[in-house]
Amino acid sequence: MKVSELGEFGLIDRLTKIVPINDKDVVVGYGDDCSCVNINGKLILFTNDIQVENRHFLKSLQSPRDIGWKLISVNVSDVLSCGGIPKWSQISLGLPKELDYSFIENVYKGIKEALDFYRFSLIGGNISSSSEIILDLFLVGETERFLSRSSAKEGEFLYINGYTGLSRAGLELLMMRKKTYEDFEKRLIKAFTRPVVKLDTTKLLQRSANACIDISDGLVADLGHIAFQSNVKTILVKEKIPVHPDLEAFCKKYKKDPYDYLLYGGEDYVILFSSEKDLEEKDIFKIGFVEKGRGVYLLDDKKEIELEIKGFEHL
């Protein structure tokens, strides 16, 4: 059987069973955005994200600086989704021998910008030659309280700390390879090439969040992780999902349904969380609620529709 027939999650499921964890200092192992261990009373988070040329990024469409920025951001997003802040990182590079030095130099300049922005350091690494460019970041974070995907409870509300769908619209615009772009199009492209993780949400999450995940596979797919791992029914209220004016302009211009983007666009790196509290904070959108049951539903003008879970498979 080929690994692609098992799919990303089928494969992970089989492999993790081979290496069970037996360590009382491990607070959280597989199955969440980060693993978590207890070191002298501190909750330390580990996450890693391997980015492969032509699968995660396209040298022909994205600048090396943006690729470096994004490598850091996607990992920071995983740490934030566990309620934490990033502390230290290590990198593994696989580079083709004939790769021009300026490429990786500029990736590092983008990494540096992101490290300065998120305020942590790269402290070690490792290089090998490879046939395609591989950038693999290991990020160590710290949290006061570990926020899991699997702890949503009936009666809670669902919140996001930003807009969804922008990144996918940006990727589509980039793929059009147009000579010129309108201003709103440039902003959408930037949402894809240079996602900004809102680390200042950490305090709110620590105070109020229960279940938490970052939206990398798409709103519905990631809410699906919360719903199925928490064993609850989650309901998105259609009219409450915020539509960014740039996405609106995009959908109008290219005759697209914004909900394809809002619900299924990936790589938003927006935080989705549940809370029993009725929050009214700036830039935090209440988009749904949690009930007894199972699955992901959309409430559209009093009609409840079960949503199909479809997200990005990395394999």
CB 220 within 8 A of CB 297: no
Q: Which is nearer to a second copy, 119 or 207 (CB)?
A: 119
Would you tell me the crossing angle of helices 166-175 and 245-254 to the nearest 10 degrees?
40
Least distance from a second copy to the Cβ atom of residue 50, Å = 4
Q: Which is nearer to a second copy, 149 or 233 (CB)?
A: 149
What part of residues 72-91 is at the interface with a second copy (CB under 8 A)?
A: 87-88, 90-91
Least distance from a second copy to the Cβ atom of residue 182, Å = 33
Using CB atoms within 10 Å of the CB of residue 101, give its burial: 0 to 12 exposed, 13 to 18 middle, 19+ buried. Answer: exposed
Ramachandran class of 295: left when φ > 0, alpha when ψ lies in -120 to 50, beta otherwise = left
* The residue count for the chain: 315
Q: Which is nearer to a second copy, 11 or 199 (CB)?
A: 11
Q: Which is nearer to a second copy, 98 or 301 (CB)?
A: 98
From residue 235 to residue 274, the character string flagging contacts with a second copy as x (rule: CB under 8 A) and all else as - is: ----------------------------------------
Is residue 59 part of the contact set for a second copy (CB under 8 A)? no
Q: Which is nearer to a second copy, 136 or 246 (CB)?
A: 136
Least distance from a second copy to the Cβ atom of residue 195, Å = 18
Residues contacting residue 61 through CB under 8 Å, at least 6 positions apart: 174, 175, 177
Query: Which region, judged by CB under 8 A, interacts with a second copy, from 21-29, 176-184, 225-233, 275-283?
Result: 21-29
What part of residues 33-52 is at the interface with a second copy (CB under 8 A)?
A: 34-35, 37, 39-42, 44, 46-52
Least distance from a second copy to the Cβ atom of residue 126, Å = 5
What part of residues 89-148 is at the interface with a second copy (CB under 8 A)?
A: 90-102, 104-105, 108-109, 111-112, 115, 120-132, 134, 136, 138, 140
Ramachandran class of 314: left when φ > 0, alpha when ψ lies in -120 to 50, beta otherwise = alpha
Three-state secondary structure string covering 260-311: HHHHHCCCCCEEEEEECCCCCCCCCEEEEEEECCCEEEEEECCEEEECCCCC
Least distance from a second copy to the Cβ atom of residue 86, Å = 11
Residue 151 has φ and ψ, to the nearest 5°, of -125, 20
Give the Cβ contact number of residue 80 at 10 Å. 30
Residue 264 has φ and ψ, to the nearest 5°, of -120, 0
Q: Which amino acid is at 135?
A: L
